[in-house]
């Protein structure tokens, strides 16, 4: 990107990752400029700042990939977006390569991820490709009691578990297990319920377990009180009582921790599907032969194809996935404090940073 007139927003150590201001260069053909309504703070953002995870585009680079806003400028070919409320997908595939043409957009080698490949959403405006934007109907948004900033988290925290649930083949009669009821796991529970599953939620935070028990989880387990073996026994007993299968469990690891990943592996049963949704740099020691012995499968989940965004958003606007209990707004100017709290695990809800008007 050419040099821009952004003003640095933060002091070290995060200054290379956040900036504010309007990009003075107009969008090119196929591009739009979005005035940002809100940008969610993701565990991945913390990894870039605190844990040494490298961005594809080296700093200085604005982070943030959970973005909603309104299109205020449009380049040639994207004029239809002008004035529309949109969600910017966290991963923007090119749409033209062989992988995209074969329905493998999540592994497109030319994909652009805001806050990783290009400047992200911790800013007042962002310039992105127009291809793949998800339109937001203001009337339905208002009817759902949501602000445009609220649906920023759809860009990752909702759509990534949506893809995971869909790829795992969750349906009526299934038992789904979600490990880690944080900014992603809370939505994974609700999405799995919307797909017809009976859901078990596992976490180490009693407050989160109480909350998710009010939003779809039929059984909650405290991983501090029960080791994986005891959890597996409790889930098996629960399945028997509910008339659910002891096989083919759908397990979603959303904690992004080594402990959570080890826990998930210990819950494999015959025919199980393990969906890895959370990310950690930590290493986990497992016996890979369990996949063979259980005739199970493990799936990675990177982002979500833009074409699936409208269906995921529809679950939100229809009230089947609740956002409000799991998010809170903060001024973008408070980003230093918000990042520090998120890193210290003292935030109770997923933070959405809102630029000053």
User: What is the tens place of the pLDDT at every residue in 190-241?
Assistant: 999 999 999 999 999 999 999 999 999 999 999 999 999 999 999 999 999 9
And the tokens for 168? 């795992």
Please tell me the predicted confidence (pLDDT) of residue 3: 28
Please tell me the predicted confidence (pLDDT) of residue 5: 25
Residue 25's pLDDT band, with cuts at 50, 70 and 90, is low
Please tell me the predicted confidence (pLDDT) of residue 14: 43
For residue 1, pLDDT over 50 is answered with no
- Which of 186, 69, 195 is closest to 138 using CA atoms? 69
Instruction: Tell me the helix, strand and coil percentages in the chain, rounded to 5.
Output: 30, 20, 45
Please tell me the predicted confidence (pLDDT) of residue 6: 28
End-to-end, the C-alpha distance of the chain in Å comes to 25
User: In angstroms, rounded to a whole number, what is the distance separating the alpha carbons of residues 333 and 20?
Assistant: 9
- Which of 90, 66, 127, 94 is closest to 353 using CA atoms? 66
Residues near 140 by beta carbon (within 8 Å), at least 6 away in sequence: 317
The CATH classification number of 159-300 equals: 3.40.50.720
Fold (topology level) of 7-156+304-354: Quinone Oxidoreductase; Chain A, domain 1 (3.90.180)
Please tell me the predicted confidence (pLDDT) of residue 280: 87
- Which of 162, 152, 216, 169 is closest to 189 using CA atoms? 216
For residue 36, pLDDT over 60 is answered with yes
For residue 18, pLDDT over 70 is answered with no
Please state the domain extents for the chain.
Answer: 7-156+304-354, 159-300
pLDDT tens digits, 265-290: 999 999 999 999 998 889 999 999 99
> Same CATH fold, 159-300 and 7-156+304-354?
no
148: left (phi over 0), alpha (psi -120 to 50) or beta: alpha
For residue 24, pLDDT over 70 is answered with no
Q: Cβ distance 317 to 140 under 8 Å?
A: yes
DSSP 257: S
User: In angstroms, rounded to a whole number, what is the distance separating the alpha carbons of residues 355 and 62?
Assistant: 14
Q: Cβ distance 38 to 149 under 8 Å?
A: yes
In the three-class reduction of DSSP (H, G, I as helix; E, B as strand; rest coil), residue 178 is classed as: strand
Residues near 301 by beta carbon (within 8 Å), at least 6 away in sequence: 160, 161, 163, 164, 167, 275, 276, 277
Cα dihedral sign, 263-276-69-344: positive
Residues near 73 by beta carbon (within 8 Å), at least 6 away in sequence: 26, 27, 32, 33, 82
* Beta partners for residue 127, in sequence order: 33
Average per-residue pLDDT for the chain: 91
Please tell me the predicted confidence (pLDDT) of residue 179: 98
Q: Cβ distance 34 to 70 under 8 Å?
A: yes
Please tell me the predicted confidence (pLDDT) of residue 4: 30
The region of weakest confidence among 16-30, 68-82, 277-291, 342-356 is 16-30
Please tell me the predicted confidence (pLDDT) of residue 297: 98
pLDDT tens digits, 152-192: 999 999 999 999 999 999 999 999 999 999 889 999 999 99
Question: Is it true that the peptide bond before 133 is cis, omega within 30 degrees of 0?
Answer: no
């Amino acid at each position: 990107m050419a040099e821009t007139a952004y003003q640095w927003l933060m002091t070290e150590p995060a200054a290379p990752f956040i900036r504010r201001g309007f990009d003075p260069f107009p969008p090119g053909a196929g591009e739009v400029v979005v005035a940002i309504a809100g940008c969610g703070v993701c565990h991945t953002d913390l990894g870039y700042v605190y844990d040494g995870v490298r961005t594809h585009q080296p700093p200085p680079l604005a982070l943030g990939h959970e973005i909603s806003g309104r299109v205020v400028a449009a380049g040639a070919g994207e004029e239809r977006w002008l004035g529309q409320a949109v969600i910017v997908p966290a991963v923007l595939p090119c749409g033209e390569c062989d992988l995209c043409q074969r329905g493998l957009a999540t592994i497109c080698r030319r994909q652009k991820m805001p806050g990783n490949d290009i400047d992200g959403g911790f800013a007042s405006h962002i310039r992105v490709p127009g291809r793949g934007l998800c339109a937001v109907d203001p009337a339905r948004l208002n009817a759902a009691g949501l602000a445009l900033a609220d649906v920023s988290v759809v860009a990752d925290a909702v759509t990534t578990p949506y893809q995971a649930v869909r790829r795992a083949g969750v349906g009526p009669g299934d038992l789904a297990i979600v490990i880690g009821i944080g900014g992603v796991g809370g939505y994974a529970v609700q999405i799995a319920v919307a797909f017809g599953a009976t859901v078990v939620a596992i976490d180490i935070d009693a407050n989160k377990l109480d909350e998710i028990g009010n939003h779809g989880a039929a059984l909650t387990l405290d991983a501090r009180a029960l080791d994986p073996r005891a959890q597996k026994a409790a889930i098996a007993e629960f399945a028997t009582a509910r008339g659910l299968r002891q096989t083919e469990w759908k397990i979603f690891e959303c904690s992004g921790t080594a402990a959570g990943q080890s826990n998930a592996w210990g819950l494999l049963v015959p025919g199980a599907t393990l969906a890895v949704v959370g990310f950690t740099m930590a290493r986990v020691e497992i016996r890979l032969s369990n996949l063979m012995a259980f005739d199970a499968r493990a799936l990675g989940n990177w982002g979500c194809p833009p074409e699936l965004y409208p269906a995921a958003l529809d679950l939100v606007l229809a009230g089947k996935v609740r956002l409000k209990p799991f998010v809170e707004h903060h001024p973008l100017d408070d980003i230093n404090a918000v990042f520090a709290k998120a890193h210290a695990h003292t935030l109770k809800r997923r933070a959405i940073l809102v630029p000053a008007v």
